């Protein structure tokens, strides 16, 4: 538990720090985790005030990080406990809730949805993973545990913490391409690949509401039975002309829109390739969060300069 003591002491040093970039007022807050030497630093960057709020410094990064309570609190699982911090505070809350057991065997008598013994033997592991931490509609903290199976399907279980104990509320089997959410649990997750239809996605019509957006051109053609659309979106950021180009196509398995090959053209400067191949890109004001599928690169870029603001990152998600 020494690392937990170190964690709580380190968070007491939380303070705002200013980056050298001047940012637009409409930009959002970014929940992120990055490697800092041998440790993992969890932060929330507020692009509007251009400040960084330190959440925690850990020996290793959690598998996922979550924003709860309408984005005002950050939560994560670490060394068998659930930790949280209210943004704007100086201290990380000491763990008040232990995680439920992650051993699948401990729940066999409670389950009505479960794999056969033969299929269970082919599971990735018989230890379940924390898929989500959030607030249940009852007002209690809830947790989504996932048992990953050989065909990339899963058995998923929802627990809530009430009267000092964890209670199993819901359970289901999920196909590998299912979103597999429990709608009664509210949170924002850094697992950005699970939300391809996020309205901040660069191809989404909501991106046209960006205050810097000027115009759009599209050209489509059929390539190997898929309709590929090449898109160019023009932005005007103060005195800078920006062209963001990318391609979209429907995913072969789910039909969800896939993005690939993102390039940036700033005034008359050479074209900058932000992502080559399948990727996700989430737009917020003058910033673009780019996640590359192959290689797992995750980075925040400025549209008007092409410079990296944060990266490489372990986790990141726009909060507002």
Residue 46 to residue 54: CA distance in whole angstroms: 11
Decide: residue 287, CB within 10 A, 0-12 exposed, 13-18 middle, 19+ buried.
buried
Contact 229, 220 (CB under 8 A): yes
pLDDT in tens, 16-37: 333 333 334 456 899 999 999 9
Residue 3's pLDDT is 42
Comparing CA positions, the residue from 203, 200, 206, 156 lying closest to residue 316 is 200
pLDDT in tens, 202-236: 999 988 899 999 999 999 999 888 889 999 999 99
Confidence of residue 278 (pLDDT cuts 50, 70, 90): confident
Mean pLDDT across the chain:
86
pLDDT at 87 over 90: no
- Is residue 271 very low, low, confident or very high in pLDDT (cuts 50, 70, 90)? very high
| SS3 letters across 57-87 | EECCCCCCCEEECCCCEEEEEECCEEEEEEC
Length of the chain: 320
Are the C-beta atoms of residues 161 and 185 closer than 8 Å to each other?
Answer: no
Average pLDDT of 245-261? 82
Range of lowest pLDDT (34-43, 199-208, 262-271):
199-208
Cβ contact 268:281 at 8 Å: no
Residue ranges covered by each domain of the chain: 2-96, 104-189, 205-318
Q: What is the pLDDT of residues 107-145, one digit of tens each?
A: 988 999 999 999 999 888 999 999 999 999 999 999 999
In sequence order, the 6+-apart residues with CB closer than 8 A to the CB of 168 are: 107, 110, 111, 157, 158, 159
pLDDT of residue 18: 32
In this predicted structure, what is the pLDDT of residue 28?
84
Q: Is 54 exposed, middle or buried (0-12, 13-18, 19+ CB in 10 A)?
A: buried
Average pLDDT estimate for 42-70: 91
Choose among 269, 262, 219: nearest CA to 241.
269
User: Nearest 5°: phi and psi at 6?
Assistant: -60, -40
């Amino acid at each position: 538990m020494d690392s937990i003591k170190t964690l709580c002491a380190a968070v007491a040093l939380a303070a705002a720090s200013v980056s050298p970039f001047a940012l637009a007022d409409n930009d959002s807050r970014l929940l992120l985790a990055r490697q800092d030497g041998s440790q993992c630093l969890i932060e929330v960057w507020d692009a509007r005030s251009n400040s960084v709020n330190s959440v925690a410094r850990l020996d290793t990064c959690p598998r996922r990080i979550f924003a709860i309570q309408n984005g005002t609190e950050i939560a994560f699982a670490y060394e068998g406990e659930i930790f949280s911090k209210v943004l704007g505070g100086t201290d990380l809350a000491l763990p008040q809730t232990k995680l439920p057991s992650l051993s699948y065997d401990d729940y066999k008598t409670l389950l009505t949805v479960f794999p056969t013994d033969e299929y269970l033997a082919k599971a990735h592991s018989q230890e379940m993973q924390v898929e989500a931490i959030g607030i249940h509609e009852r007002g209690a903290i809830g947790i989504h545990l996932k048992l990953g199976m050989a065909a990339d399907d899963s058995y998923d279980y929802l627990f809530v913490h009430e009267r000092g104990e964890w209670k199993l509320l819901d359970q289901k089997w999920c196909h590998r391409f299912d979103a597999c959410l429990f709608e009664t649990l509210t949170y924002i997750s850094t697992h950005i690949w699970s939300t391809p239809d996020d309205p901040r996605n660069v191809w989404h019509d909501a991106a046209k509401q960006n205050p810097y957006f000027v115009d759009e051109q599209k050209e489509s053609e059929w390539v190997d039975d898929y309709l590929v659309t090449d898109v160019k979106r023009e932005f005007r950021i103060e005195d800078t002309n920006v062209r963001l180009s990318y391609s979209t196509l429907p995913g072969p398995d789910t039909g969800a829109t896939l993005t690939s090959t993102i390039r940036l053209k700033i005034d008359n400067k050479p074209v900058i390739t932000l992502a080559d191949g399948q990727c996700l890109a989430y737009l917020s004001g003058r910033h673009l969060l780019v996640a590359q599928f192959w290689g797992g690169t995750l980075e925040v870029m400025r549209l008007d300069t092409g410079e990296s603001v944060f990266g490489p990152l372990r986790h990141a998600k726009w909060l507002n």
